[in-house]
Amino acid sequence: MTQVIVVNGGSSSGKSGIVRCLQAVLPDPWLALGTDTLVEATPASMHGMDGGIEFGPDGEVTIGPEFRTLQAAWIEGVAAMARAGARVIVDEVFLDGAYSQQRWQKALGELRVLWVGIRCDAAVAAGREVARGDRVVGMAALQAEVVHQGVSYDLEVDTALAESMECARTIAAHVK
pLDDT tens, 65-106?
A: 999 999 999 999 999 999 999 999 999 999 999 999 999 999
Reported as a single tens digit per residue, the pLDDT across 18-41 is 999 999 999 999 999 999 999 999
User: Is 120 a residue whose pLDDT tops 90?
Assistant: yes
Res 175: pLDDT? 98
CB-side exposure of 147: number of CA atoms within 13 Å?
A: 28
Q: For 109-138, what is the mean pLDDT?
A: 94
Report residue 116 CA to chain centroid gap: 10
DSSP letter at 84 equals: T
In the chain, alpha helices (H): 15-25, 35-41, 65-83, 98-108, 122-132, 139-146, 164-172
- Which pLDDT does position 90 carry in this prediction? 98
Residue 82, SS3? helix
Query: Averaged over 44-55, what is the pLDDT?
Result: 91
Q: Which of 24, 14, 30 is nearest to 114 (CA)?
A: 30
Mean pLDDT of all residues in 128-157: 95
pLDDT of residue 30: 98
User: Is 28 marked active-site?
Assistant: no
Mean pLDDT over all residues of the chain?
96
Say how many C-beta atoms besides its own lie within 10 A of residue 161's C-beta.
12
| Residue pair 153/117 in contact by the 8 Å Cβ criterion | yes
Find the catalytic residue in 36, 96, 121, 158: 36
- Is residue 56 pLDDT above 90, yes or no? yes
Torsion angle of alpha carbons 147, 157, 17, 10, nearest 10°?
10
**Whether the predicted pLDDT of 133 surpasses 90:** no
Cα dist from 95 to 11, 83, 124, 144, 151, whole Å: 10, 26, 19, 10, 11
Interatomic CA distance for residues 72 and 131, integer angstroms: 32
| CA angle (86, 91, 95) in 5-degree steps | 135
